Structure 1
Amino acid sequence: MEYYDENRTENIPESGTRQRRSPGNRSGWFFAGFIGAIVGIVCFLIFAPILSDLGILPYSVTTGTQGTGNLGGSGTTTQQVNVKVNSGVTAAVAKVSPAVVAVINLQKANFFDNQYTESGIGSGIIYKRAGPYSYVVTNDHVVSGAGKVEVRMGDNQKVDAKVLGTDALYDLAVLRISSTDVKSVAEFGNSAILQRGEPAIAIGNPLGFSGSVTEGIISSTNRTIPVQANNASIEAQVLQTDAAINPGNSGGALVNIAGQVIGINSSKIASTGSGTDTSVEGIGFAIPINVAKPVISKLEGGGKIVRPMLGVSIVDLSMVPADETSQLQLPKSVKSGLVVTDVQTGSPAKKSGLEAGDVITSINGQKITSYISFSTYMYTNLKAGQTVRIQFYRMGKLHTAALTLGSKTFS
C-alpha cells in the first residue's frame, strides 16, 4: 500500500521535478493585488497634477496641504485634492452670463402716490450696444402694465430702462438702457439649424434667484402651440426644451453649446392653452431667435408690429383626424394645407368668398407645407393692404380668389 505525501518531490521522467504548491499560496496573490492597488492610487495622486498641467487629463487637479495629524505617535499629512472642471457648458455660461440681466416691473401703489413698488421680475438679454445706448430684449408680459422699468446688472447695480416697443402676440419687448455699465453683449445664433438632442442651457432669474443656470436638450425644433392676444389667435412656433424654465426665467436666454442665444425663454407661452397643466416638468418653451429677430428689429426702432391679416381661423391639415379629412374630398395628391375652421364677419377672407371647410394650399404662389411655413412667409414677405392670390380646395375642386390683406396691431 502506498501513502501520499503532499510535500514530497516527484520524479517525472524527461521533465524534471515538480513541487506541489500549498493552497495557502493563494492568499499571497490576494495581498499582492491589494498592495498593487494601493500603490496605483498613490501614484495617481502624485502624478495627476503633472498630467493635468500637461493637458493630458480633461480636468485640472491641484493638491495642497489640508492639515496634519498624529496616528500612533507618527506624524501624517492629509492632502486636499481640488478638481476644476472646464467643459463646453461652463464655457458657454461664462460667455453669455454677463449679458443676461434682471428686468424689474415697477408700478405705483396707488393713483395719488408717486412711489413705485416692485410688481414683478423677469429676465432680459443685452443684445446690442450702440454708442451711449444698449438694447435689451425681454418678454412683453414681463413689462406689461409697468409704470417704470429697471434693469439689474450682473453686479447688482440697477439702471433705468425705457420700453421702446412691445409685441403681445410673440411676447417680446425691447428696452433701451445706458451703455455706461454694459460690459458684455450676447451673440445671436441660428435656430434654423438646431437638432433634437443637442445641449440647451437656460439662464435667467427664476423666482428671483439671479443668474440661475439649468441645462437640458432641445426636445423639439418644430413645435407649435396656440397663443392669443388682442382677440386674435395664432399657432406660435416655439422651441421645446427640458431645461427648467420657471417664472422669472421669462425673457432670459436659451443658449447653445457655443454660448449663442438660440431662443428667448417664455414661461407665459409654456402656460398658454386651456387645460394646460403648468406643474408638468421637463417641458419648457422658448421663442426661436430666427423668429424673434425681425420683431426685435422693428421694436428697437420704436415701431409697432402691424401684421397682415386674413380674418380666418385655421388648422394644419396634418392635425385633422383621418375620418374628418375624408369629408374634405381632397385629391390624393394634396398632402398639406390649412383647413379653414371659421371666417370672421367683414374680414378680407369673407369678402374674397372663403368658407369654413376650405383648404388653402398656396398664397401668392407660395405652396403651404405647414402652418409654420405659412405664418413665416406671411409675416416676413407680405404686408397689410397687399392684394394676394389664394388657392384653395372646396369639395375636391381647386379655386382661386384675390384677397386684400387686412392689418392687426399687437402691442
Structure 2
Amino acid sequence: MTSNRLIEPEKRRGKTVAPRRVARTAIATAVTLALVVGGTMMVRAEAPAVSLHSATGQPMALPSFADVAERVSPAVVNVKVTSEVKTGGVVVRGLPGMPENMPLPEFFRRYFDERVQGAPHRIQGQGSGFLVDPNGYIVTNNHVIDGATQVTVVLNDGSSHTAKVVGRDDKTDLALLKIDTDHPLAYVELGDSAKARVGDWVLAVGNPFGLGGSVNAGIISARGRDIHSGPYDDYLQIDAAINRGNSGGPLFDTSGRVIGVNTAIYSPTGGNVGIGFAIPAETVSHVIADLRENGHVERGWLGIQIQPVTEDLAAGLDLDEARGVLVADVVPGGPASVTDLRAGDVILSADGQRIENYKDLPRLVADLKSGSRMELDVMRDGKPLRIDVKVGSMPDNGRVASASQSDDQLGENPHLGLYLAPLTPELRMRRGLDDGSSGVLVARVEPGSPAAEAGIEPGSLISMVGADPVSSPAQVQAAVRKASAEKQKAVIMRVERGGRALFVAVPLTA
C-alpha cells in the first residue's frame, strides 16, 4: 500500500564523480564531454583531474545496472488493494451490560444514547511485490495488503490478475500472494544477504507513487538495524531511493538476486533523506516457506519477559560484562514456568550460542519448532547454572481481531482493529513509562477500524475493559468477546496516553 509504515521517503543522492585525467587533444576548446562506455564514465576536460582507484590501485568504474534491471524487471509487480472504511458509529440505547455506577464522562453517556452509522466508502492503495516462482507466488509486505477486501496484481506486461492472500506475518511485515495464469511466469530467486557488506551496490525495483516499474540504485549503508517495528527487527539500511509505493518491492545485488524486501523509510521532514530499510533475504526465505506450507508462521516460545543487561545492571548483578538478557518475569503456564528459570536470572547463552544483544534470544527461540529442547546457560547470584527447557508454540494473542468479519461471527471474534503487546519492562523503558504503569500496550491500530475511529492511538495503554483491569492481550481479547456475546453494541476501554486517562467507547461492529 502507499502508506509508509513508521517512516518516510528519502531524496535521491547527487553523486559527483571526479573526472579521470586524460591527455589533451589537438582541439583547444574549453568544452567538457561526458562519455559512457561499458558502464565507465570518462570525462574530458581542459583542466586536469584526479583518478579514482580501488584498494589495489586499479581504476574504479561506476557500474551499469542496465543488464540486471532488464533481466529482473519482468518479475516485479504492482500490487493494488481496495479497502472498505466505515464512518460514523452505531445506534446504541443506554449502557447495556455496564454497571450503573461506572465512572463515565457525560459525553460518553450522550455517545451511547445516540450515534448513527455512516455509509462505508472504499479507499485504494498500491505497493510492490515480486514473483518467487513460475506458478504465481508473490512476496510483498503485510502492511501493503493489510485490511484489503480485494488485491489485484499487475504484471510487467500490463495484465491484471486477482490475487488471493496465501498467508501473512505481521511480526516481520511479510505476506505471500498467489495468482493463477495459463503460462509460467518470470520470477527471481532469493540470494544470500548474509554475504552482503556495507558499501555494496544494490538495486531497488518497484512501483513508487504508482508510476510503474522504476529502478533506483544505491549502497548498503548499515546492517542489523532495529527500527522498533517488531520483535525481530534486523534490517538492511540502504540509501537507494525508496518512496511510497515501493513497499514490498525487491532489493537486488549486482548479480540480480534478491537480498531484501524494501519495507520502510526514515524521514523527519516527509521528504527523501537517504535512509531506507529492507528485510534481509534470510528472514524472507524462512517466513515465506512457512506461509506457503501452513498459511502462518509457527514460532518457538519460552514464556519469559526479558530486558537488556545494562552496565549498571551488570555491576549490580556482579557480572563481568554487560551482555545477555535479564529475565524480568516468567509467564504463568508458559514453557519456562515448569523449569527452574526465575525472574532475576541472566541468560548468557542458548544452545551454546552467546547472547550479546537482548534480541538475540527471541530470534533463536523463534526459529525452533514447538517441542524442541533448548539449553540455557544462566547466571544466578554469581553462580552459573544450566537449565533445560522445552520450547512451546508462540500463542497468537497479540491481535484482538484479524480480518473483517461478518455479523454472525461477532460473538466469536469481534473486529476492533487493535494490535496489542504485553507491557514488558523493556517496553516500559523504551516508551518512557513509569515502573508502576500497568495495562496492555497498543502496538498498532488498523486504519479505518472501530478502534481508530474511537480515537485509540499506537503507544497508548489499555488499563481497563469495562469495569475490569487488564494486564495481557489475552485478557483484553476475552473481555471483548464477552461483551460481544452479551450483545453489547460497544465496549468501553480506559485508555492512557501522555499522562492522561479517558474512557473510550469502541463499537463492536464487523
Q: TM-score, normalised by structure 1?
A: 0.68
For residue 106 of structure 1, what is the aligned residue in structure 2? 82
- Describe how 1:208-247 pairs up with structure 2 within 5 A: 208-228=210-230, 234-247=231-244
Aligned to 1:264, the other structure's residue is in SS state strand
For residue 79 of structure 1, what is the aligned residue in structure 2? none
Of the three residues 369, 379, 382, the one matched with 1:393 is: 379
CA-CA distance at 1:281 after TM superposition: 2.0
Aligned to 1:226, the other structure's residue is in SS state coil
For residue 27 of structure 2, what is the aligned residue in structure 1? 37
CA-CA distance at 1:390 after TM superposition: 2.1
For the residues of structure 2 that align with 1:304 and 1:387, how far apart are their CA atoms?
22
CA-CA distance at 1:260 after TM superposition: 1.3
Q: Would the alpha carbon gap of residues 292 and 316 (structure 1) be closer, same or farther in structure 2, given more than 3 Å must change?
A: farther
CA-CA distance at 1:176 after TM superposition: 0.9
- Describe how 1:129-168 pairs up with structure 2 within 5 A: 129=134, 133-168=135-170
After superposition, the C-alpha distances for 1:159-209 in whole angstroms (9 at most, x for unaligned) are 111111111111111111124466421122110101001112211122222
Letter in 1 for 2:376: I
CA-CA distance at 1:254 after TM superposition: 1.0
Q: Would the alpha carbon gap of residues 407 and 173 (structure 1) be closer, same or farther in structure 2, given more than 3 Å must change?
A: same
For residue 3 of structure 1, what is the aligned residue in structure 2? none
For the residues of structure 2 that align with 1:346 and 1:309, how far apart are their CA atoms?
12
After superposition, the C-alpha distances for 1:71-121 in whole angstroms (9 at most, x for unaligned) are xxxxxxxxxxxxxx994322222222111111112234679xxx9955321
For residue 199 of structure 2, what is the aligned residue in structure 1? 197
CA-CA distance at 1:352 after TM superposition: 2.8
CA-CA distance at 1:124 after TM superposition: 0.5
For the residues of structure 2 that align with 1:341 and 1:203, how far apart are their CA atoms?
43
CA-CA distance at 1:136 after TM superposition: 0.3
Aligned to 1:295, the other structure's residue is in SS state helix
2:85/2:123 contact within 8 Å kept: no
For residue 354 of structure 1, what is the aligned residue in structure 2? 341
1:282 aligns with 2:274: yes
CA-CA distance at 1:151 after TM superposition: 0.2
For the residues of structure 2 that align with 1:35 and 1:313, how far apart are their CA atoms?
72
For the residues of structure 1 that align with 2:284 and 2:228, how far apart are their CA atoms?
17
Of the three residues 42, 66, 73, the one matched with 1:97 is: 73
After superposition, the C-alpha distances for 1:325-377 in whole angstroms (9 at most, x for unaligned) are 212211x3x66422334443443334434344422122234443445654443
- Describe how 1:314-393 pairs up with structure 2 within 5 A: 314-317=306-309, 320=310, 322-330=311-319, 332=320, 336-371=323-358, 373-380=360-367, 382-393=368-379
Q: Would the alpha carbon gap of residues 297 and 350 (structure 1) be closer, same or farther in structure 2, given more than 3 Å must change?
A: same
Q: Would the alpha carbon gap of residues 284 and 356 (structure 1) be closer, same or farther in structure 2, given more than 3 Å must change?
A: farther
Q: Would the alpha carbon gap of residues 91 and 116 (structure 1) be closer, same or farther in structure 2, given more than 3 Å must change?
A: farther
For residue 249 of structure 1, what is the aligned residue in structure 2? 246
Identity of aligned residues (%): 36
Task: Decide which moves more: 173-182 or 362-371.
Answer: 362-371
Q: Would the alpha carbon gap of residues 39 and 207 (structure 1) be closer, same or farther in structure 2, given more than 3 Å must change?
A: closer
Q: Aligned residues, how many?
A: 324
Of the three residues 248, 261, 264, the one matched with 2:261 is: 264
1:305/1:409 contact within 8 Å kept: no
For residue 13 of structure 1, what is the aligned residue in structure 2? none
Letter in 1 for 2:334: S
Between Structure 1 and Structure 2, which shows a larger proportion of strand residues?
1
For the residues of structure 1 that align with 2:269 and 2:389, how far apart are their CA atoms?
40
Kindly report the root-mean-square deviation, in angstroms, between the aligned alpha carbons of the 2 structures: 3.6
Q: Would the alpha carbon gap of residues 162 and 370 (structure 1) be closer, same or farther in structure 2, given more than 3 Å must change?
A: same
Letter in 2 for 1:388: M
For residue 123 of structure 1, what is the aligned residue in structure 2? 128
For the residues of structure 1 that align with 2:258 and 2:359, how far apart are their CA atoms?
21
After superposition, the C-alpha distances for 1:238-282 in whole angstroms (9 at most, x for unaligned) are 111122223321110111111211001112xx57xxxx9484722
Q: Would the alpha carbon gap of residues 241 and 258 (structure 1) be closer, same or farther in structure 2, given more than 3 Å must change?
A: same
After superposition, the C-alpha distances for 1:358-399 in whole angstroms (9 at most, x for unaligned) are 22122234443445654443333x222334332211232212
Aligned to 2:370, the other structure's residue is in SS state coil
For the residues of structure 2 that align with 1:149 and 1:116, how far apart are their CA atoms?
17
Q: Would the alpha carbon gap of residues 282 and 355 (structure 1) be closer, same or farther in structure 2, given more than 3 Å must change?
A: farther
Structure 2 residue runs of 5 or longer lacking an equivalent are: 1-23, 43-60, 88-119, 397-401, 403-510
For residue 294 of structure 1, what is the aligned residue in structure 2? 286
Between Structure 1 and Structure 2, which shows a larger proportion of helix residues?
1
Letter in 2 for 1:36: A
For the residues of structure 2 that align with 1:160 and 1:116, how far apart are their CA atoms?
21
